[in-house]
């Protein structure tokens, strides 16, 4: 991307040890190795014996450009089991299996990777990958807690497809996501959102008629997830509130899964109270059944259709906008508030007229306006928009990936941060 270099500042190469333990996700570490070496870092790969059954030495050696360190008994004269750890600036273990986490937590040292973990005094990052049951087992959770208490970073596994047909929490995040998380530790990319906490909502809410049926909408969550991923890559701390999204959770993001507008509201109001910016990219259902049935509604035998009474849901963005005004009046710096508007225009008002009116009504700083007349935006990887500002500004973003639109939105948010002194987000509690 053309404007990337302005957002990132480069620093010298880092000596990275990439530990690979024996899980099927070892193949994803090949991509991580490539990202590390291509960004100029000096990487020594230490696969465990089990890892080598998934991906062989030749792959690691070719991509790291050095012999693979897989054995404490080779080159004993150079004492590799001590030297590699001592010389490292960063140790990353990806994937970290349940067994590897247990060994590291117990301080066992029966191969080159575990001896390296004991001798390293640099930052250590584990990216676990295993089946959900193994991840959730109290033994694994205790090992993770021990490692974190000792100062190691243990990345939360992603949710998604596991080894077989099953899915759940335990997936190794994508290599690019792990790489983005390593950014500050690699001393390389310093993102322009570093030190900021941003909250993003994504997806579409569901309002249940009965235990099996709901009113929903076509929002895929792709734009909200792109906002979360780009914010993490630019150094922010990110909370993502996701409504009924089937995408994998982005690595390093705190994700809260919700179904209904009421749940989305609760999570958003709580997270927004300690945020620097809030982006409402979700499509909350505006209405819910007035009296949802506790049991499945049966088809009337007489061929008639039941009528549905609806009641209006709270408008979360408007409520956040109201808090914003209230906090600003009380001298508490409010978070920057960004809304989305899907408009079609009508006979009287153009898409942008309607959007300006919405921006005022909802009290946000920025409104990202999509013209959805053709319905093309839903589920699409691309988007085009106009970003309207409460200051009267208007910024057109031509058709591009939702990731690039997300970056353009963060650029506008950053401009608003810059125009206000950075306040302490912890003070930003709504009254």
**What is the footprint of ligand CTP within residues 370-399 (CB under 6 A)?**
none
Contact between 58 and 89 under an 8 Å Cβ cutoff? The reply is no
Contact between 316 and 310 under an 8 Å Cβ cutoff? The reply is no
Question: Exactly one of 116, 140, 220, 313 binds ligand CTP (CB under 6 A); which one?
Answer: 313
Q: How far is the CB of 315 from ligand CTP (least distance, A)?
A: 4
Burial of 346 (0-12, 13-18, 19+ CB in 10 A): exposed
Asked if 339 touches ligand CTP (CB under 6 A), the answer is: yes
Closest CA to 16 of 41, 38, 39, 34: 41
Asked if 232 touches ligand CTP (CB under 6 A), the answer is: no
Q: What is the dihedral of CA 90, 131, 224, 338, to 10 degrees?
A: -70
Residues contacting 263, CB < 8 A, separation 6+: 205, 243
Asked if 31 touches ligand CTP (CB under 6 A), the answer is: no
Stretch that binds ligand CTP, among 55-63, 69-77, 241-249, 311-319 (CB under 6 A): 311-319
Measured from the CB atom, the residue of 17 and 272 that comes closer to ligand CTP is: 272
Q: How far is the CB of 359 from ligand CTP (least distance, A)?
A: 10
Stretch that binds ligand CTP, among 9-17, 160-168, 246-254, 335-343 (CB under 6 A): 335-343
User: What is the distance in angstroms between the CA of the first residue and the CA of the last residue of the chain?
Assistant: 41
Measured from the CB atom, the residue of 109 and 262 that comes closer to ligand CTP is: 262
Q: Count each helix (H run) and each strand (E run) in the chain, helices first.
A: 15, 19
Active-site residue, selected from the candidate residues 143, 217, 313, 327: 217
Stretch that binds ligand CTP, among 69-77, 238-246, 309-317, 393-401 (CB under 6 A): 309-317
Stretch that binds ligand CTP, among 56-64, 108-116, 183-191, 333-341 (CB under 6 A): 333-341
Asked if 322 touches ligand CTP (CB under 6 A), the answer is: no
Stretch that binds ligand CTP, among 6-14, 103-111, 244-252, 312-320 (CB under 6 A): 312-320
Q: C-alpha 378: how far from its chain's center?
A: 20
Question: Exactly one of 17, 36, 159, 341 binds ligand CTP (CB under 6 A); which one?
Answer: 341
Between CA 127 and CA 145 the distance in angstroms is: 14
Asked if 316 touches ligand CTP (CB under 6 A), the answer is: yes
Alpha-helix residue ranges (DSSP H) falling in 80-168: 80-87, 98-106, 112-119, 132-136, 138-149
Contact between 244 and 283 under an 8 Å Cβ cutoff? The reply is no
Q: How far is the CB of 385 from ligand CTP (least distance, A)?
A: 12
Q: How far is the CB of 175 from ligand CTP (least distance, A)?
A: 31
Asked if 321 touches ligand CTP (CB under 6 A), the answer is: no
Question: Exactly one of 54, 126, 135, 340 binds ligand CTP (CB under 6 A); which one?
Answer: 340
**What is the footprint of ligand CTP within residues 257-296 (CB under 6 A)?**
261, 280, 282, 284, 286
Contact between 33 and 15 under an 8 Å Cβ cutoff? The reply is no
Question: Exactly one of 31, 42, 156, 315 binds ligand CTP (CB under 6 A); which one?
Answer: 315
CB atoms within 10 A of CB 4: 11
Question: What's the half-sphere exposure (Cβ side, CA atoms, 13 Å) at 145?
Answer: 7
Asked if 317 touches ligand CTP (CB under 6 A), the answer is: yes
CB atoms within 10 A of CB 153: 16
Measured from the CB atom, the residue of 210 and 286 that comes closer to ligand CTP is: 286
* CA quadruple 205, 209, 214, 217: dihedral sign: negative
Q: How far is the CB of 224 from ligand CTP (least distance, A)?
A: 9
How many residues belong to the site for ligand CTP (CB under 6 A)? 13
Residue found under tokens 């009380």:
330
Stretch that binds ligand CTP, among 25-33, 334-342, 344-352, 394-402 (CB under 6 A): 334-342
Between CA 16 and CA 41 the distance in angstroms is: 7
Classify strands 90-96 and 124-128 as parallel, antiparallel or unpaired. parallel
Measured from the CB atom, the residue of 9 and 325 that comes closer to ligand CTP is: 325
Closest CA to 369 of 345, 343, 346, 389: 343
Does the annotation count 3 as an active-site position?
no
Q: Site residues (CB under 6 A) for ligand CTP? A: 261, 280, 282, 284, 286, 313, 315-317, 339-342
- Any idea which residues carry the catalytic annotation? 217
């Amino acid at each position: 991307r053309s404007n990337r270099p302005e957002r990132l500042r480069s620093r010298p190469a880092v000596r990275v040890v990439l530990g690979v333990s024996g899980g099927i996700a070892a193949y994803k570490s090949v991509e991580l190795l490539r990202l590390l070496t291509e960004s100029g870092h000096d990487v020594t790969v230490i696969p465990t014996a089990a890892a080598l059954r998934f991906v062989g030495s030749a792959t690691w050696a070719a991509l790291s450009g050095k012999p693979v360190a897989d054995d404490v008994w080779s080159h004993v004269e150079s004492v590799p089991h001590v030297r590699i750890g001592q010389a490292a600036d960063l140790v990353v273990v990806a994937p970290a299996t349940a067994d590897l986490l247990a060994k590291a937590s117990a301080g066992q040292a029966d191969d080159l990777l575990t001896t390296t973990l004991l001798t390293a005094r640099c930052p250590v990052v584990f990216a676990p990958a295993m089946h959900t049951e193994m991840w959730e087992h109290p033994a694994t959770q205790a090992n993770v807690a021990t490692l974190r208490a000792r100062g190691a970073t243990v990345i939360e596994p992603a949710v998604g497809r596991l080894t077989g047909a099953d899915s759940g929490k335990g997936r190794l995040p994508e290599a690019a996501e792990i790489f983005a998380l390593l950014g500050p530790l690699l001393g390389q990319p310093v993102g322009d959102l570093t030190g900021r906490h941003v909250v993003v909502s994504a997806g579409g809410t569901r309002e249940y008629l009965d235990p099996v049926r709901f009113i929903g909408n076509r929002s895929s969550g792709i734009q909200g997830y792109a906002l979360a991923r780009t914010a993490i890559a630019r150094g922010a701390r990110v909370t993502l509130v996701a409504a009924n999204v089937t995408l994998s959770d982005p690595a390093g993001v705190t994700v809260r899964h919700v179904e209904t507008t009421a749940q989305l509201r609760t999570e958003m109001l709580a997270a927004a109270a300690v945020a620097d910016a809030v982006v409402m990219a979700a499509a909350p259902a505006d209405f819910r059944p007035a009296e949802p049935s506790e049991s499945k509604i049966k088809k009337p035998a007489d061929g008639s259709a039941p009528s549905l009474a609806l009641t209006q849901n709270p408008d979360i963005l408007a409520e956040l906008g109201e808090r914003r005004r209230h906090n600003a009046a009380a001298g508490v710096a409010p978070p920057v508030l960004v809304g989305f508007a899907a408009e079609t225009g009508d006979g009287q008002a153009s898409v942008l007229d309607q959007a300006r009116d919405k921006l005022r009504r909802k009290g946000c700083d920025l409104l990202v306006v999509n013209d959805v007349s053709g319905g093309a935006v839903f589920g699409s990887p691309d988007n085009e928009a106009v970003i309207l500002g409460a200051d009267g500004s208007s910024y057109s973003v031509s058709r591009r990936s939702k990731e690039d639109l997300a970056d353009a939105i963060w650029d506008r948010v950053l401009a608003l941060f810059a125009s206000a002194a950075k306040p302490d987000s912890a003070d930003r509690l709504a009254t």
